[in-house]
């Protein structure tokens, strides 16, 4: 008969094996890429370049944290990039209309959260619509709204110091966007790892019927995860607007949803739901960030980054299928 110690040891061994199987591929690829760039690019390991990688990709990481909740629950949010663009436009409109910087920041996050929870989450959970159709429609609708509100013209936010501080400030020698990204990542990990809501997200993604029979309010969970995704997009909007010193309704966050989804899938999440975590998402974001930085340092034209991201997304989906088998 197995003792409690034997069961605990077996569980620990199984968990370790699962972690190694899930992250060995992308982890090994990340290490190999870092070693290759360290040898071939003399500027890669310099402090300024490392900080540039982290600062530039903090927006994608924050968006990916929110998307992790959605994908684990067996969904997908294609409106993340457009939500970020609209959030930047909404923030600029509030600022130029006389609203204070901090209230404008809070209102932007609340507005994005409301749109994500009520429209995306509401239509999917209570309306019975397919998540792909809803978020694809919202991707077009929100981007169009950003263009209509702004007339397609960027609005400067340079005069508002709090916005600039969030996007490009420094605290304790570290870029503020990086600090915010780390804090949001830790918060997301804690929620997924140690709260009842986090366990409910995994349950809904793993088996919706079983979760419902276990007493979990599946509809509320779905509304919540799309609200979280939109809230993270709102934070990303503020960070991006501050870094660019203006709203960018046309070019802001183009392709952000695909890059974030690729990072989440590379980090061990699955389209079939019920698997993944914020730590894995961080690894996926780091891989994409280092890859993009390596392409830039090598002098390769920037448009090749889109090809590389698309190839990585295909590889991530293939890896997801292999893990499922």
> Over the stretch 247-279, which tens digit does the pLDDT of each residue have?
888 776 778 888 898 889 888 888 888 888 898
* pLDDT at residue 10 in the model: 34
* pLDDT at residue 16 in the model: 43
> Is the pLDDT score of 224 beyond 80?
yes
What residues are paired with 171 via a beta bridge?
A: 174
Give exposure, 213-227, as e/b (b: 16+ Cβ within 10 Å).
Answer: eeebebeebbbbbbb
Contact in structure between 198 and 191 (CB atoms under 8 Å) = yes
Over residues 218-224, mean pLDDT: 93
Write out the two tokens for 216: 């979990």
* pLDDT at residue 245 in the model: 86
Contact in structure between 77 and 257 (CB atoms under 8 Å) = yes
Interval 156-206: pLDDT, tens:
888 889 999 998 888 888 899 999 999 999 999 999 989 999 999 999 988
Instruction: List CB contacts of 224: < 8 A, sequence separation 6 or more.
Output: 117, 121, 197
pLDDT tier at 14 (50, 70, 90 boundaries)? Answer: very low
Any idea which residue has 């893990």 for tokens? Answer: 323
What residues are paired with 172 via a beta bridge?
A: none
pLDDT tier at 211 (50, 70, 90 boundaries)? Answer: confident
Long-range contacts made by residues 98-107, C-beta under 8 angstroms, separation at least 24? 101/160, 101/161, 101/162, 101/163, 102/162, 104/160, 104/163, 105/162, 105/163, 105/166, 105/238
Domain-wise residue ranges, the chain? 41-253
Report the alpha-carbon distance of residue 253 to residue 236 in Å, rounded.
9
Instruction: List CB contacts of 265: < 8 A, sequence separation 6 or more.
Output: 71, 271, 284, 313, 316, 317, 319, 320
**CA angle, residues 88, 277, 252, in degrees to nearest 5:** 15
Report the alpha-carbon distance of residue 97 to residue 101 in Å, rounded.
11
Write out the two tokens for 259: 């890059």
CB count within 10 Å of CB 238 equals 28
3-state SS, residue 265: helix
Q: Comparing C-alpha atoms, which of 263, 204, 223 is closest to residue 26?
A: 263
What residues are paired with 49 via a beta bridge?
A: none
Count Cβ atoms within 10 A of the Cβ of residue 118 and give its class: 0-12 exposed, 13-18 middle, 19 or more buried. middle
> Is the pLDDT score of 223 beyond 90?
yes
Residue 322 or residue 66, greater confidence: 66
Over residues 113-140, mean pLDDT: 93
Interval 74-99: pLDDT, tens:
899 999 999 999 999 999 999 999 88
């Amino acid at each position: 008969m197995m003792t409690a110690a034997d069961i605990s040891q077996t569980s620990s061994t199984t968990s370790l094996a699962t972690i190694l199987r899930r992250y060995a591929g992308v982890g090994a690829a990340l290490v190999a890429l870092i070693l290759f760039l360290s040898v071939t690019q003399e500027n890669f390991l310099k402090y300024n370049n490392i900080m540039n990688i982290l600062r530039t990709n903090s927006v994608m990481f924050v968006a990916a944290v929110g998307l992790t909740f959605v994908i684990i629950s067996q969904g997908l949010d294609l409106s993340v990039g457009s939500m970020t663009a609209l959030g930047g436009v909404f923030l600029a409109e509030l600022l130029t209309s006389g609203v204070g910087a901090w209230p404008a920041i809070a209102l932007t996050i609340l507005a994005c959260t409301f749109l994500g929870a009520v429209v995306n989450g509401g239509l999917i959970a209570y309306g019975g619509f397919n998540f792909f159709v809803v978020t694809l429609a919202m991707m077009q609708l929100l981007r169009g709204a950003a263009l209509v509100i702004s007339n397609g013209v960027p609005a400067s936010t340079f005069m508002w110091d709090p916005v600039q501080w969030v996007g490009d400030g420094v605290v304790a020698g570290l870029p503020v966007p990086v600090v915010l990204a780390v804090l949001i990542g830790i918060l997301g990990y804690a929620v997924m790892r140690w709260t009842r809501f986090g366990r409910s997200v995994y349950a809904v993604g793993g088996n919706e019927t079983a979760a419902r029979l276990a007493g979990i309010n599946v509809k509320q969970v779905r509304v919540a995860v799309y609200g979280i995704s939109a809230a993270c997009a709102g934070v990303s909007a503020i960070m991006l607007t501050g870094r660019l010193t203006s709203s960018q309704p046309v070019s802001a966050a183009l392709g952000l949803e695909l890059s974030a989804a690729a990072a989440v899938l590379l980090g061990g999440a699955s389209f079939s739901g019920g698997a993944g975590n914020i730590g894995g998402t961080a690894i996926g974001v780091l891989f994409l960030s280092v890859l993009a930085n390596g392409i830039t340092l090598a002098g390769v034209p920037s448009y090749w980054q889109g090809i590389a991201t698309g190839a990585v997304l295909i590889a991530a989906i293939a890896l997801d299928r292999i893990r499922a088998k």
